[in-house]
Structures are given as structure tokens and as C-alpha cells.
């Protein structure tokens, strides 16, 4: 069911630019979901989502239909995958405040932070009724996220303890693995 809160012209493929890759991967996209639920989730962490019919999405590191970050604004189009929106949001959530101040396109961070970002995007997927953990894991695999155990699910269940612990230490997750009650500033550098 298309999302009525996006501008109508953005839901029409003829008037909203999309990449050639759109539709090649069977992943959930913003136009197919309740964008208001996504916006509410992002606001809990100090992010504002800007949607539009951008020929090139502002702040997108990867280009095409991938979400972009500039400061506390996350940019997306109707064809932006939900996994991309949550991944970029998790970069913002996990980065130190000093990096947030100058954030434009490249979220930076190291290997351990990237793992924490991937872990958190899987956990946050459960906050969206239309997404959930299983769909997030499947979409990450379809899109080509690479994990040494061969799949996002295997990594999450068997090899992500360091990422989980990092998020717990930062106060983003509870020791039980659920989200902390109040948003936190970020992981320590």
C-alpha cells in the first residue's frame, strides 16, 4: 500500500527520478510503507527525514536511491530502501556528537562502529510493524551486505556480540538487548 504522506508526484515513477537499480532487488521501499512511522522513529533520535523527488539524494554516500545524511537531516526518495534509511539513521545515532556537528554525506567511523550500526538497524526494524527483524535481515542479504558468516542473520545471531556490547556500553541498548528507554547521545569515539 503506497504511503499517502509522500507528495503524490513522488509516488509516480514517471515524474520522480529513480536509479536503474530500483526494483531489481526485492527490498521494502519508502513508498510502500507508512513514512510517518519512519519519521516518528527517527525523531526519537533527533533526526528529521526530508523526502522529495531529488534527481540525486542530498548527502547520499552511495548515490542512486540510497538515503543521505547532512547534519541531523536524513534525505530519502520514494524508491529509497527502508534498510538504507535505518542504516544511515543508525550511523547518526552511533556517532560521537563532534562528528554530528560536521556531518555531510560520509558518516565516517571505524569497523567496530559499522558493526554497531548494522546491529542497531536490525533492532530498530522491530520498531516498525511493516518491517521487523526478519524482513530487515532478508533485505540486507538481498541488497548485498557482506558478513563473514554468509548472511546478516547468521552474523546477528552468532558473531555480533561485540557490536551488541558496544551498544549496551553506550546506553543505546539495554543489557537484555532491547532499546534503552531514552535516546542517548552516541557511542564514544
Q: What is the pLDDT of residues 76-127, one digit of tens each?
A: 999 999 999 999 999 999 998 888 888 898 788 888 999 999 999 999 999 9
Low-confidence ranges of the chain (pLDDT < 50): 1-4, 8-9, 11-24, 189
Q: What is the pLDDT of residue 14?
A: 36
Terminal CA-CA length for the chain: 41
Helices (H) and strands (E) in the chain, counts: 8, 3
Report the alpha-carbon distance of residue 73 to residue 159 in Å, rounded.
Answer: 31
Q: What is the pLDDT of residue 186?
A: 55
Q: What is the pLDDT of residue 109?
A: 84
Q: What is the pLDDT of residue 59?
A: 81
Q: Do 107 and 69 contact (CB within 8 A), yes or no?
A: yes
What are the C-alpha distances in Å from 152 to residues 83, 98, 126, 158? 12, 30, 15, 10
Q: What is the pLDDT of residue 184?
A: 58
Q: Which residues contact 151 (CB under 8 A, 6 or more apart)?
A: 137, 141
Q: Cell digits for 15?
A: 515524474
* CA-based max dimension of the chain: 48
In terms of Cα–Cα distance, which of 140, 63, 127, 137 is closest to 93? 127
Report the alpha-carbon distance of residue 180 to residue 154 in Å, rounded.
Answer: 24
Q: What is the pLDDT of residue 148?
A: 86
In terms of Cα–Cα distance, which of 107, 29, 31 is closest to 69? 107
Amino acid at each position: 500500500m503506497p504511503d499517502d504522506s509522500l507528495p503524490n508526484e513522488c509516488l509516480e515513477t514517471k515524474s520522480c527520478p529513480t536509479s536503474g537499480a530500483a526494483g531489481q532487488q526485492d527490498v521494502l521501499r519508502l513508498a510502500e510503507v507508512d513514512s510517518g512511522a519512519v519519521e516518528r522513529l527517527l525523531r526519537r533520535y533527533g533526526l528529521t527525514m526530508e523526502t522529495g523527488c531529488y534527481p540525486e539524494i542530498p548527502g547520499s554516500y552511495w548515490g542512486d536511491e540510497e538515503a543521505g545524511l547532512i547534519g541531523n537531516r536524513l534525505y530519502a526518495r520514494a524508491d529509497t530502501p527502508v534498510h538504507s534509511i535505518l542504516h544511515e539513521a543508525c550511523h547518526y545515532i552511533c556517532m560521537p556528537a563532534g562528528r554530528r556537528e560536521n556531518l555531510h554525506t560520509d558518516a565516517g567511523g571505524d569497523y567496530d562502529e559499522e558493526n554497531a550500526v548494522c546491529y542497531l538497524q536490525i533492532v530498530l526494524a522491530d520498531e516498525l510493524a511493516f518491517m521487523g527483524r526478519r524482513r530487515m535481515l532478508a533485505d540486507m542479504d538481498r541488497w548485498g551486505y557482506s558478513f563473514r558468516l554468509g548472511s546478516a542473520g547468521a552474523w546477528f545471531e552468532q558473531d555480533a556480540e561485540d557490536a551488541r556490547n558496544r551498544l549496551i556500553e553506550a546506553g543505546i541498548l539495554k543489557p537484555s538487548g532491547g532499546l534503552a528507554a531514552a535516546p542517548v547521545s552516541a557511542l564514544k569515539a
